[in-house]
Amino acid sequence: MRLLRAYIAVIDRFNYGVGRVIMYGIFAMMAVLLWSTISKFSDQPSLWTLEVAQFAMITYFFLGGPYAIQMGAHVRMDLFYENWSVRKKAAVDAIMVFCLIFYLGVLLWGGLSSTAYSLGHFGSNPVGFFADLATGEKQIGTLERSRSIWRPYLWPIKTIMCLGIFLMLLQALSELCKDILRLRGETV
């Protein structure tokens, strides 16, 4: 049980810190959109603003997700849930967290595949590609770019997406640990 508590403490502290920093990212996105509006009125619209705003929103969403899970800010049907005992809530939450973990695992695999593709790997084993890349056995191929007129590289945002999914997976495991402790009658 000490191991569960230690895991919860480390993951919750880390994701809390990331979430508190990322929550100010909304201001970066607002600044980009404000610049976009100003540049359109000056008859010289910036081509990069829409994609940078989209990238900022993706970063905000994926890196803020673990913080939202931790704070309980996600959607929940409170009609029945609110009247349940702590142990019943923990049991239902544990089942739902297993579903979330499965979903995040599939999402992470797809994100890794997409990131590997954006780095020039066109095979079917993204984990092997990243392992070979880390050991120097493989090199980065042709980098994927957006099809817009600005044409930014896509690997940075796909890497952030994978990092956010991984952090959500770690936070989901932390929530599962909390539910296990609650089912045992312990306080979290």
Pairwise CA distance, residues 15 & 67, whole Å: 6
pTM assigned to the model: 0.91
Q: Which residues of the chain have pLDDT under 50?
A: none
Residue 188 located in a structural domain: no
CA-based nearest residue to 64, from 176, 171, 158, 179: 171
Residue 167 located in a structural domain: yes
Reading the block at residue 155, the tokens are: 């690997």
Could you tell me the residue range of the domain that residue 139 belongs to? 2-183
Q: What is the pLDDT of residue 19?
A: 96
Residue 130 located in a structural domain: yes
Residue 95 located in a structural domain: yes
Residue 99 located in a structural domain: yes
Q: For residues 179 and 90, is the Cβ–Cβ distance under 8 A?
A: yes
Residue 6 located in a structural domain: yes
Tens digit of each residue's pLDDT (9 = 90 or more) over 41-81? 888 878 899 899 999 999 999 999 999 999 988 777 778 88
Residue 137 located in a structural domain: yes
Q: What is the pLDDT of residue 73?
A: 84
Q: For residues 63 and 43, is the Cβ–Cβ distance under 8 A?
A: no
Q: How many domains does the chain have?
A: 1
Pairwise CA distance, residues 6 & 177, whole Å: 10
Pairwise CA distance, residues 158 & 17, whole Å: 22
CA-based nearest residue to 146, from 61, 58, 55: 55
Q: What is the pLDDT of residue 1?
A: 84
Q: Look at residue 153 and give its three-state secondary structure.
A: strand
Q: Which ranges of the chain does DSSP label H, i.e. alpha helix? A: 2-22, 25-41, 49-71, 78-81, 86-118, 126-135, 155-183
